[in-house]
Chain A
Amino acid sequence: MAEDLINSFMTGPDEGGRFGKFGGRFVSETLMPLILDLEAEYEKAKTDDSFWAEMDDLWKHYVGRPSPLYYAERLTERLGGAKIYLKRDELNHTGAHKINNVLGQIILARRMGKTRIIAETGAGQHGVATATVCAKFGLKCIVYMGAHDVERQAPNVFRMRLLGAEVVPVTSGRGTLKDAMNDALRDWVTNVRDTFYCIGTVAGPHPYPAMVRDFQSIIGKEVRWQLAAQEGEGRLPDTVIAAIGGGSNAMGLFFPFLDDKSVRIIGVEAGGKGVDDKFEHCASLTGGRPGVLHGNRTYLLQDGDGQILEGFSISAGLDYPGIGPEHSWLHETGRAEYVSITDKEALAAFQLSCETEGIIPALEPSHALAHVQKIAPELPADHIIVMNMCGRGDKDIFTVAKHLGFDMSDTEGREME
């Protein structure tokens, strides 16, 4: 499909929840009536001013929106090319973009009279955001988290427990994010009457990919007016760029620019140890092929027999073998470009952000920054890049310390041998 054959990239999905051939509603019959209910409720809320008034109020006073659009001057100088702006979603309450979406879903859950909220989490950021909003509204919260992630993201596990959530370590399958999602779906099938499943990214059956995108689109909408209002700019960005796990922070930044042909859109997948046939990466678009998992058709890491493979990434938040269906469609239509960045490159970018801007980024946006590092030097000084700094790095300092050979238990801070 050529790009110019499509009038608008912003009208999807269709009534079947499809973006081209991607998306859909591949769920068991038990869940089907539930997602139809959710869709009806969301459609009602979407055009209800009181719903958005409640969202706006909480976004402003609870999350701290709008997040700043920040001109990264020293980073720009260091890279010596394009002008780099960072969208500071790492300053949100709970430290990432995840809460933008959680607020929307929890308000919806309350409207639907649901009293028990379940969620899956990888890095723990979506789990923390869900636990936070549930605490605020006095809702019961159960978070499914792969046993392996429970270990490597211990601070977030403790945060969720402080916030009153029950964290269930998932040992089914291989005990990773995709298995956590399986177990959350199994919980939902079992507790259909009182339970709302709060999905953390633009994946899952329709209407989740569209709904989560709509809630996250506040990111791109703010960038639009912020850059327009910026002294001396007053225009659209030339390039927008974001990291992709399931793809929610990226969709949130990209969506409002899809029909602006002049805006180049780049998604950055986790390349792990390198995108090759060993599958030690999480780059579903660059290294996978279309399949059906978790309620939708999209690009997946899978073997020749359609069995799903585990991804690999230094970043727990990108460690998912799929990607939101809308990204698969944007990839096939050519409207957005997708690239991958290795663990090593992300670690270098992590340090660059600390040194030049005094911002400790999460490992996820460090992937986006690593690609900015690659392209910015080749671009002219009047080229504006907006990168989504979608999370802060507090949760990652242990992982980074380990990779940099720094012994955190040593109070003298000596480097490890």
Chain B
Amino acid sequence: MTRIDDTFSRLKDNGKKAFVSYVMAGDPDYDTALEVVKGLPAAGVDIIELGLPFTDPMADGPTIQLAGQRALEAGMTLQKTLDMAAEFRKGDDTTPIVLMGYYNPIYSRGVEQFLADAKAAGIDGLIVVDLPPEEDDELCIPAQAAGLNFIRLATPTTDDKRLPKVLQNTSGFVYYVSITGITGAANAEAGDVGPEVARIKAATDLPVIVGFGIKTPERSEAIARVADGAVVGSAIVEKIGAGESPADVLAFVKSLADGAHRA
């Protein structure tokens, strides 16, 4: 059992849906980002997705691209991202942290070394956008062996034939990407999402969380109603990018979390 598994069983016992937030590590700088991350659990966040900055985020829209650039310009690295997680862990031993990013910085460090360091830093799961099931030997299987969850994205192009392959080595939860597109793009319609979530849930016992295109408390609620939870990224990152204070960012996060928890 990881912190992620524990969180979902607790939410289930309380009859609640999960709220998952994404912020980029080191955006706009290390200290500000850490202040935001430390405040997330009190704002109602059940699972923290921590973005690992990369120069070439092929699946991200402008909002998260710019967040990564700000972080890198401020000197963020893989090591500092892990340091940030470790620092957070000192004050919070229950809220799961999922590291989300691209493979090259991890590959560059070396998979073995990275897994040992991530585990030591208190990371619970990984979402690596450019590692589909076809490349499971790279990181997915070693990560699970090291006791980390490997969370996979399912998308509207993942048809029934392919779905079992996507679910096969997935653990923790399934992240359903509600649109074909990049982060921060169009709005997800709850009406379209419901049947897709049902389709995935018919094939797995894992919780199904929905993200991409959720920007308001109302959408957060509507989406959480038809799934096991909702993820918001770009809308939060946009506020950080606009220079809003951590307190203001966290107030916005709370409104989104409250939305999901009303569902």
In the complex, the answer to whether B130 meets A291 with C-beta atoms within 8 Å is no
Chain A, residue nearest B158 (CB): A29
Taking beta carbons and an 8 Å cutoff, which residues of A are in contact with B?
16, 24-34, 172-173, 178-179, 182, 185-186, 189-192, 291-295, 297, 300, 302, 304-308
Given contacts A29-B158, A192-B180, 20 further A-B contacts (CB under 8 A): A24-B135, A25-B135, A26-B130, A26-B132, A29-B152, A29-B166, A33-B159, A182-B57, A186-B58, A186-B60, A191-B180, A292-B102, A292-B130, A295-B130, A300-B104, A305-B78, A305-B105, A306-B78, A306-B104, A306-B105
State which residues 53-86 of B face A: CB under 8 Å: 54-62, 65, 69, 72, 77-79
Known: A29-B152, A172-B62. A308 touches B134 (CB 8 A): no
In the bound complex, CA of A34 to CA of B54 (Å)? 24
Interface: B14 (CB within 8 A): no
Interface: B241 (CB within 8 A): no
In the complex, the answer to whether B180 meets A172 with C-beta atoms within 8 Å is no
Q: How far is the CB of B151 from chain A (nearest CB, A)?
A: 12
In the complex, the answer to whether A185 meets B58 with C-beta atoms within 8 Å is yes
Contacts of B61 in A (CB 8 A): 186
In the complex, the answer to whether A307 meets B55 with C-beta atoms within 8 Å is yes
Interface: B10 (CB within 8 A): no
In the complex, the answer to whether B104 meets A190 with C-beta atoms within 8 Å is no
In the bound complex, CA of A34 to CA of B162 (Å)? 12
The answer, among B56, B109, B180, for a CB contact under 8 Å with A30, is B180
Contacts of A173 in B (CB 8 A): 55-56, 65, 69
**What would be 29 A-B contacts, judged by CB atoms less than 8 Å apart?**
A25-B134, A26-B130, A26-B131, A26-B135, A27-B132, A28-B130, A29-B158, A29-B177, A30-B59, A30-B155, A30-B177, A30-B181, A31-B157, A32-B157, A33-B159, A33-B162, A34-B157, A173-B55, A182-B57, A186-B59, A189-B180, A190-B185, A291-B108, A297-B107, A305-B77, A306-B104, A306-B107, A307-B72, A308-B55
Contacts of B30 in A (CB 8 A): none
Contacts of B182 in A (CB 8 A): 186, 189-190
In the complex, the answer to whether A29 meets B132 with C-beta atoms within 8 Å is yes
Chain B, residue nearest A33 (CB): B157
In the complex, the answer to whether A32 meets B134 with C-beta atoms within 8 Å is yes
Contacts of A31 in B (CB 8 A): 157
In the bound complex, CA of A306 to CA of B106 (Å)? 8
Q: How far is the CB of A95 from chain B (nearest CB, A)?
A: 30
Q: How far is the CB of B22 from chain A (nearest CB, A)?
A: 16
In the complex, the answer to whether A26 meets B103 with C-beta atoms within 8 Å is yes
Known: A28-B132, A189-B182. A292 touches B107 (CB 8 A): yes
- The winner among B57, B58, B61, B102 for most chain A CB atoms within 10 A is B58
In the bound complex, CA of A32 to CA of B77 (Å)? 29
Q: Lowest 9 A-B CB distances belong to which pairs?
A: A306-B108, A306-B105, A190-B181, A30-B155, A306-B104, A26-B130, A32-B132, A308-B55, A33-B157
The answer, among A172, A192, A291, for a CB contact under 8 Å with B157, is A192
Interface: B153 (CB within 8 A): yes
Contacts of B260 in A (CB 8 A): none
- The winner among B103, B129, B157, B166 for most chain A CB atoms within 10 A is B157
Chain B, residue nearest A206 (CB): B134
Contacts of B60 in A (CB 8 A): 186
Chain B, residue nearest A183 (CB): B58
Known: A30-B155, A172-B65, A173-B65. A182 touches B104 (CB 8 A): no
Interface: B154 (CB within 8 A): yes
In the bound complex, CA of A308 to CA of B166 (Å)? 28
Chain A, residue nearest B130 (CB): A26
Number of chain B interface residues as a range: 35 or more
Chain B, residue nearest A192 (CB): B180
Contacts of A306 in B (CB 8 A): 54, 78, 104-109
In the complex, the answer to whether B105 meets A307 with C-beta atoms within 8 Å is yes
In the complex, the answer to whether B154 meets A29 with C-beta atoms within 8 Å is yes
In the bound complex, CA of A363 to CA of B115 (Å)? 45
Q: How far is the CB of A200 from chain B (nearest CB, A)?
A: 17
State which residues 146-165 of B face A: CB under 8 Å: 152-159, 162
Q: How far is the CB of B1 from chain A (nearest CB, A)?
A: 26
Contacts of A191 in B (CB 8 A): 180
Q: How far is the CB of B210 from chain A (nearest CB, A)?
A: 14
- The winner among B57, B65, B105, B130 for most chain A CB atoms within 10 A is B130
- The winner among A30, A31, A300 for most chain B CB atoms within 10 A is A30
Contacts of A304 in B (CB 8 A): 108
State which residues 20-78 of B face A: CB under 8 Å: 54-62, 65, 69, 72, 77-78
In the bound complex, CA of A172 to CA of B66 (Å)? 8
Q: How far is the CB of A122 from chain B (nearest CB, A)?
A: 15
Contacts of A33 in B (CB 8 A): 157-159, 162
In the bound complex, CA of A394 to CA of B158 (Å)? 46
Known: A25-B132, A292-B130, A295-B130. A189 touches B59 (CB 8 A): yes
In the bound complex, CA of A189 to CA of B54 (Å)? 19
State which residues 189-246 of B face A: CB under 8 Å: none
Contacts of A294 in B (CB 8 A): 56, 58
Q: How far is the CB of B26 from chain A (nearest CB, A)?
A: 12
In the bound complex, CA of A302 to CA of B54 (Å)? 11
In the bound complex, CA of A30 to CA of B177 (Å)? 9
In the bound complex, CA of A236 to CA of B181 (Å)? 49
In the bound complex, CA of A80 to CA of B78 (Å)? 54
Q: How far is the CB of B234 from chain A (nearest CB, A)?
A: 14
Known: A26-B131, A302-B108. A307 touches B54 (CB 8 A): yes
Contacts of A300 in B (CB 8 A): 104
In the bound complex, CA of A365 to CA of B234 (Å)? 44
The answer, among B69, B105, B106, B153, for a CB contact under 8 Å with A28, is B153
In the bound complex, CA of A178 to CA of B54 (Å)? 13
Contacts of A192 in B (CB 8 A): 157, 180
Q: How far is the CB of B30 from chain A (nearest CB, A)?
A: 15
Contacts of A34 in B (CB 8 A): 157
In the bound complex, CA of A173 to CA of B62 (Å)? 9
In the complex, the answer to whether A29 meets B104 with C-beta atoms within 8 Å is no
Q: How far is the CB of A106 from chain B (nearest CB, A)?
A: 23
Contacts of B133 in A (CB 8 A): 32
